[in-house]
Structure 1
Amino acid sequence: MGRKRRRRLPAEPIELAVTDLSHDGRGVGRHEEKAVFVHGALPGETASARLIDRNRRFDEALCEQVIEASAERVDPECPWFDHCGGCALQHLDHSAQLEWKHKRLVDNLTRIGEVSPASWWDPIAASPWFYRRRSRLSARLVKGKGRVLVGFREPQGRFVADVGNCRVLHPDFSNRLLSLSQLLGKLSVADAVPQIETASGDSGSAIVLRHLRPLTTADEQHLRDWSAENDIAVYLQPKGPSTVHRLCPDQHELTYRLDEFDLELGFHPQNFIQVNADINRALIRRAVELLEPTADDRVLDLFCGLGNFTLPLATRAGSVVGVEGDEALVEAGRANAVRNGLDQVEWEVADLAGDVSSQAWYRAGFDAVLIDPPRSGAFEVLPVIAGSGARRVVYVSCNPATLARDAGELVNRHGFRLKGAGIADMFPHTAHVESIALFERA
């Protein structure tokens, strides 16, 4: 078979009216009866855009000039916004971003789940800057620029964006992209480092360096020197995730506090944690308030991770069972329970896509359930929730479409009422929609 021919793109920009925002935050318009997704354009605008890709059903474009601007348009605070895909909505006023995310949740619940809550809650929001305490940055040696680029990818996703700093990364990394670039440029494997992961706790940070060829002794010394100069730990990943190990310093731990519950949680740089510390604390507070656990209650936390919700619930409830499919996260949860002197938590490793109804921990029944599933949602575990005896269920979601699907099942099939729902601005300036919902037995 011959090589697939790329569709030729016109050199001249196109002009179009933008009528909507797509699920990923791009403006949506039409040109010659075909949908066009335009990075950097907003509803109500007339824009001149350059096509960057053509598909059978739609085209993709970058906004080059706003001919007629939306009243909700603001100047992006990042000078590289037009060339970096790390943010999609910096040009939209932050309050308008919250409104758009709320509308997405409303639309998904209504259209997909055919449900609507008794109450819509105000958004959970905080400062929209310097919030990302975990990130996965791309790296690429670009000989034409004479250096390694480190950052998010460009809007079309093919190349690493050439930026000087990043206003959404945690302060330990927002001004260190060039430093990381210089570090990689010193390595013998500069052309074999595809990504760097960053992780930050309340008082310390780490990077995880993915390298496709072995490091030399000199490479390791460069990394140690950079670590000491920046007070940031360096972990290495020569192959799959199981090969991640700390290079330096000899002792290092990442932690974050939940002062309202007098808790401190430790985590590994590759453990899943909620990206936005302020929003995470507010979400935990809201979830505990909604479930109203008492000393007589037994609470089930599904997809419990390293105990982010489990341990705060355990400070209020009589007992909590945390269930997670990732054994490493369960071990981290156990360690965090010991760290905080909480012995009323039972930890279980289980495949939540399978049937767990015969497990001893499940048969004892529950008064309340908290669930924080991945983007794919929790469809397979909904019968487990329904059969648990719980009178209240709090669902924390990172995907409004799967939340809507699962909400429809809980309400229309399993006899719950959707009492309330609202968004949490976990990823400001992006199209990501985090939300929280409360279900009660009908």
Structure 2
Amino acid sequence: MTIVAIESLDNEGRGIAHVEGKVIFIEGALPGERVEFSSYRRKPSYEQATVTKVIRASSQRVTPACPHFGVCGGCALQHLNIAAQTAAKQRVLEDAFWHIARLKPEQIYPPVAGGAWGYRHRARFSARWVSKKGGALVGFREKHSSHVVVMDSCAVLPPAVSALIPELKRLMAEMSAPEHLPQIEVAIGDVQTALLLRHLSPLSAADEDQLRCFADAQGVVWYLQSKGPETVRLFYPEHTPLLTYALPDYSLEFRFWPTEFTQVNDGVNRMLVRRAMALLAPQKGERIVDLFCGLGNFTLPIARLGATALGIEGSSALVQRAEENAALNGLSAQCTFAVANLFEATEAGFTALGRVDKLLIDPPREGAFALVNALPAGDRPRRIVYVSCSPATLARDAAVLVHEKGYALRGAGIASMFPHTSHVESIAVFER
């Protein structure tokens, strides 16, 4: 068995080693360790592997809190202490800036971080009927597999939701066609927990009664989905109001449908909005545009702080929800919304927006390459706050902003939105 020294972590939280010129990516290995490994995928220039034995452990290694770690595909870094996870993600961000864009931020911001456990306010459970494993399974998928983990709890879910897993397994076992119930989504608001059941065949009257009894006993709200997203509907209790979350710093409440995008980590989202507003510094008399605005998570705080805000989003449903949230919070006069495909942004389209003093960009993983290239050569926003969920696309877009559009990278830092995973959320500030 080959023993290797682990040099660093890659962007997916795997240890990196080299053997005879070949890169080995080893799940479960940490920098500074010496480990034995077993490869499960071999290519000419690299291998993917898992640790079989730790010969010399890192001082940062800890015992995973979850008994399913290593089998479940949900977490990748529970064996690394939380402070070291944060530091590793900061290095991923800085490395991306340097290797992709040849940039170094003038300032590294302190990490935005919250609790390490019970943080996940959204989840998508797979459901399977597997007689060999005791019947109904409800949980996350195994690593490198479509199989569902045999689990009764999850440490990154709020305890009350984690406790629903065995109850959901019992419920699935009592349904008339559990093999036709492939998925249950969880969306948690400040007041309610919603469960969205995907069903591939019609539910019987007895099935519906089971769902009603479960909702009454567990204090949850059921939504059903029979086909595509357009078929999602509230089932029980009838006339239940929409889910909500609050941003208390700005006296804001947001309503949302269970399938609409909201941040997974509610506590870190509040801190991230606070950080973004401090860096953007909205002022009365300014006109600020929020691109990829969603349901108004950043747009409404901008308006609440006195600036005039325009939110632009590709989804007409989310724009409608953002408008409703603006009205709910008495901000319809200070902020407006529009639908546009920002992945096809042009200079003419950006110029048509009129005066833009500052810009907030919060794109999906694909980044905002077309958008930053569309910034006009003349009068551009003097400050851009860029919230990113991919260091690679952030660095790619930063290269355009700095090397082609005349901005300086004033600062950047991470937000620990997903502890124990390799996912890196970050925020950066550019000034003209």
Superposition TM-score, scaled by structure 1 size: 0.92
State the SS of the aligned residue for 1:144.
helix
State the SS of the aligned residue for 2:342.
coil
Q: Deviations over 1:45-99 (max 9, x none)?
A: 2223344444454433332332211111011111221221111001001110011
The structural deviation recorded for 1:209 is: 1.4
Q: Deviations over 1:151-207 (max 9, x none)?
A: 221122332111221111133312221111111122223112222211001121111
Shifted more, 373-382 versus 66-75: the winner is 66-75
User: Which residue identity lines up with residue 262 of structure 2 in the other structure?
Assistant: I
State the SS of the aligned residue for 1:364.
coil
Contact 1:121 / 1:422 at 8 angstroms: preserved in 2? Answer: yes
Shifted more, 148-157 versus 340-349: the winner is 148-157
Q: 1:120 aligns with which of 95, 101, 108?
A: 108
User: Which residue identity lines up with residue 251 of structure 1 in the other structure?
Assistant: H
Contact 1:369 / 1:385 at 8 angstroms: preserved in 2? Answer: no
In structure 1, what is the equivalent of residue 355 of structure 2?
365
Contact 2:8 / 2:31 at 8 angstroms: preserved in 1? Answer: yes
The structural deviation recorded for 1:299 is: 0.6
Q: Which runs of 5+ in 2 are unaligned?
A: none
In structure 2, what is the equivalent of residue 10 of structure 1?
none
In structure 1, what is the equivalent of residue 24 of structure 2?
36
Shifted more, 216-225 versus 419-428: the winner is 216-225
* Structure 2: distance between partners of 1:38 and 1:300: 43
* Structure 1: distance between partners of 2:355 and 2:108: 30
Q: 1:274 aligns with which of 236, 242, 263?
A: 263
State the SS of the aligned residue for 1:278.
helix
In structure 1, what is the equivalent of residue 310 of structure 2?
321
In structure 2, what is the equivalent of residue 9 of structure 1?
none
Residues 223-242 of structure 1: matches in 2 within 5 Å?
A: 223-242=211-230
In structure 2, what is the equivalent of residue 391 of structure 1?
382
Q: Residues 356, 245 of structure 1: CA spacing in aligned structure 2 closer, same or farther, 3 A cutoff?
A: farther
User: Which residue identity lines up with residue 425 of structure 2 in the other structure?
Assistant: E
The structural deviation recorded for 1:368 is: 0.6
* Structure 1: distance between partners of 2:41 and 2:162: 31
In structure 2, what is the equivalent of residue 49 of structure 1?
37
Q: Deviations over 1:8-55 (max 9, x none)?
A: xxxxx7644332222111223345764433222212222233444444
Contact 1:75 / 1:91 at 8 angstroms: preserved in 2? Answer: yes
The structural deviation recorded for 1:284 is: 0.6
User: Which residue identity lines up with residue 337 of structure 2 in the other structure?
Assistant: W
Corresponding position: 1:70 with 2:61: no
Percent sequence identity over matched residues?
46
Q: Residues 338, 76 of structure 1: CA spacing in aligned structure 2 closer, same or farther, 3 A cutoff?
A: same
In structure 1, what is the equivalent of residue 291 of structure 2?
302
In structure 2, what is the equivalent of residue 4 of structure 1?
none
Residues 192-341 of structure 1: matches in 2 within 5 Å?
A: 192-252=180-240, 253-341=242-330
State the SS of the aligned residue for 1:353.
helix
The structural deviation recorded for 1:418 is: 0.6
State the SS of the aligned residue for 2:428.
strand
In structure 2, what is the equivalent of residue 437 of structure 1?
428
Shifted more, 158-167 versus 327-336: the winner is 158-167
* Structure 1: distance between partners of 2:102 and 2:45: 28
The structural deviation recorded for 1:347 is: 0.7
State the SS of the aligned residue for 1:120.
coil
Contact 2:350 / 2:374 at 8 angstroms: preserved in 1? Answer: no
Shifted more, 425-434 versus 39-48: the winner is 39-48
Contact 1:356 / 1:362 at 8 angstroms: preserved in 2? Answer: no
* Structure 1: distance between partners of 2:272 and 2:148: 33
Contact 1:27 / 1:42 at 8 angstroms: preserved in 2? Answer: yes
* Structure 1: distance between partners of 2:351 and 2:102: 33
User: Which residue identity lines up with residue 329 of structure 2 in the other structure?
Assistant: N
* Structure 1: distance between partners of 2:129 and 2:356: 54
State the SS of the aligned residue for 1:62.
strand
Contact 1:350 / 1:356 at 8 angstroms: preserved in 2? Answer: no
Aligned residues: 429
State the SS of the aligned residue for 2:132.
coil
Superposition TM-score, scaled by structure 2 size: 0.94
Contact 2:6 / 2:34 at 8 angstroms: preserved in 1? Answer: yes
Q: Residues 140, 55 of structure 1: CA spacing in aligned structure 2 closer, same or farther, 3 A cutoff?
A: farther
* Structure 2: distance between partners of 1:28 and 1:208: 39
* Structure 1: distance between partners of 2:373 and 2:19: 46
* Structure 2: distance between partners of 1:360 and 1:377: 17
In structure 1, what is the equivalent of residue 172 of structure 2?
184
Q: Residues 364, 260 of structure 1: CA spacing in aligned structure 2 closer, same or farther, 3 A cutoff?
A: same
User: Which residue identity lines up with residue 427 of structure 2 in the other structure?
Assistant: I
Q: Deviations over 1:88-146 (max 9, x none)?
A: 00100111001100000000001101111111111111111111111122222211012
User: Which residue identity lines up with residue 414 of structure 1 in the other structure?
Assistant: K
* Structure 1: distance between partners of 2:351 and 2:23: 51
Residues 393-408 of structure 1: matches in 2 within 5 Å?
A: 393-408=384-399
State the SS of the aligned residue for 1:382.
helix
